[in-house]
Structure 1
Amino acid sequence: MGGNTKKLIQKYNLRLTKSLGQNFLIDDNVVKRIVDAAQITENDMVIEIGPGVGSMTVELAQRAGKVIAVEIDKKLIPALQENLGEFSNVNIINKDIMDVNINELRDSGQFGNIKVVANLPYYITTPIIMKLLEEENDIGLMVFMVQKEVAQRMTAAPGKKDYGALSVAVQYYTKPEKAFDVPPHCFIPQPEVDSTVIKLNVNETPPVKLMDKDFFFMVVKAAFGQRRKTLVNALYNFKGFQKTKEEIKEILNQLGIDENARGETLSISQFAELSNLLFKCS
């Protein structure tokens, strides 16, 4: 596969587009490990984002019931079609994943599970992941290759330096789990950063009960918007809240949260309690 990827790039005279963050995976062992991590079976419909010339798509097609490969770069489509010509269970879509409605890709209930597997462009990793998480769809598992630092943020615990709004969001919607690291030499061209494969097991029910989900994430955004500020000052300075500092201190006091605490010390359950009480008092 790795050699085939290079041949296809040469055959079609493909010049990788820097603005699309294209780094093709050429290590067959890593490809297999990613697909293994996704536990693909013939009962799965798999959506692959950014298949490139299809090195991982081939492995997915050999195991899944159906594969939908969403590729934004039209220059790659001929190579992708050649590489996947023998597979009748692959559907190639030349489109930006940000413009794709996942529910419209769903087959007529033929496949029990929907999984997403992707070597994501690092410049747009977070928007893609948040789109998939925030949409109401039937995705059960997502396996992504991401920049190592992003994976650390997604799995970070309260109080750690990597813990932030992304940590809270990902851990609200899923149970994130690091699979393994991938060094730069496994790609062409080689990225300047290390990569990590991460599994996001989507929660059937959220880990906390919220009075208003949008308000909850507004509180989280406010808390991490000015990391050096205390929670009191961060919430007071956020335009979405019409509270005095004393009122905010009183709410924190009711919840047993130190008024000098910063957002990065709060767990998801504490953010839920805080947002629910702020919402009730608004």
Structure 2
Amino acid sequence: MSFGISAKTRKLLKQHNIVLKKSLGQNFLTDAHMLQRIIEAADLSDQSGVIEIGPGLGALTEGLAQRSQKVVAIELDNRLIPVLEQLFIGQSNVEMVHADALKLDFAQLISDKFQSCSEVHVVANLPYYVTSPILVKLLESGLSLSSIVVMIQKEVAERILARPGTKAYGSLSVFAQYFSEPTKVVQVPSHVFVPRPQVDSMVIKLAIRHKPPVPVEDESFFFQVVRASFAKRRKTLLNSLSSSLPFPMEKKRLEELILYIGLDPSSRGEMLSIDSFAQLSNVLLQERETAN
């Protein structure tokens, strides 16, 4: 299996007069070992379908196609589409789609392209500036995915993986861990990319949960409470909630409810587990509905 920017790819880039754009987050992984780790983490079979977001120059696409039934690669830069199509000409299980992943209807894509597949995975090397929006879209849309294996900025990956009581733990941690079980695959140094980015990356795997890990009465309200709890990180849970909740509540009553479920009003949001956030949002929701 050959990876990296091959002589054929370089020739095609020159032929199509393509200069890689940092503005599009075009930092392409060229290390064979790292690419292999990503492919192995996806745990593919001949019944697997793969949505690859950001195929770049096709190095990862090649390995994914060898391990799966079908790969549909989503590429934003239309200059790269003819290059990729020529690289995979004759490979019927690889299809290129020119689209913006932030605007793409993934549910329709899965319905149209993967009817014969028993499972669908997302594998992506995301530009840093769209990491969070794309992950949020993929996770909260209820797509029938098995996993998301993604290479992202190390700092963002650490936030997704963070546990309660740590500095990196925040609303993104709670969000990702509510919808999936995130694990670290491998840390990726900047020198294995072309061109070389200014920060290190990390590959993580998000195994999609089939049901929420905690009982939540209103999912939207749950995440409003989570965001409010982290809105002012230096403030106590009580003070942060009292100034950031999406509905009015007397501070004294808020304190009573926090105590009622066994939490310390003087603690901070980063100390709360997902279970604690679920209890908090459920009791606050009941209070709001009673008041109305």
Asked if these proteins are the same fold (TM beyond 0.5), I'd say: yes
Bigger mean CA deviation after superposition, 127-136 or 97-106 = 97-106
CA deviation after TM superposition for structure 1 residue 10, in Å? 3.7
Give the 5 Å matches for 1:50-69.
50-69=54-73
How many Å separate the matches in 2 of 1:156 and 1:94? 34
Give the 5 Å matches for 1:96-115.
96-106=100-110, 107=113, 109-115=115-121
Give the structure-2-normalised TM-score. Answer: 0.94
Partner of 2:236: 230
Question: Is this contact kept in 1: 2:71–2:93, CA < 8 A?
Answer: yes
Structure 2: unaligned runs, 5 residues or longer: none
* Matched residue type, 1:91: E
RMSD over equivalenced CA pairs, Å? 1.2
Question: Is this contact kept in 1: 2:49–2:114, CA < 8 A?
Answer: no
Give the 5 Å matches for 1:190-205.
190-205=196-211
How many Å separate the matches in 1 of 2:222 and 2:85? 44
Structure 1: unaligned runs, 5 residues or longer: none
How many Å separate the matches in 1 of 2:15 and 2:31? 19
How many Å separate the matches in 1 of 2:43 and 2:214? 28
Partner of 1:47: 51
Give the structure-1-normalised TM-score. Answer: 0.97
- Aligned residue pairs total 282
Q: Deviations over 1:161-200 (max 9, x none)?
A: 0000000000000000000111111111101111111000
How many Å separate the matches in 1 of 2:17 and 2:195? 15
Q: Deviations over 1:59-85 (max 9, x none)?
A: 111111011100011011111111111
How many Å separate the matches in 2 of 1:234 and 1:174? 27
Secondary structure of the 1:278 match is helix
CA deviation after TM superposition for structure 1 residue 277, in Å? 0.2
CA deviation after TM superposition for structure 1 residue 7, in Å? 4.5
Partner of 1:186: 192
Q: Deviations over 1:118-160 (max 9, x none)?
A: 1110111000000000112101101000111111100100010
Q: Deviations over 1:87-119 (max 9, x none)?
A: 101111100011111111224631110100011
User: In percent, how many aligned pairs have the same letter?
Assistant: 46
CA deviation after TM superposition for structure 1 residue 239, in Å? 5.0
* Matched residue type, 1:87: Q
Distance 1:239-1:176 versus aligned 2 partners, 3 A rule: closer
Q: Deviations over 1:8-59 (max 9, x none)?
A: 4344332222221110111122112111110111111100001112111111
* Matched residue type, 2:205: K
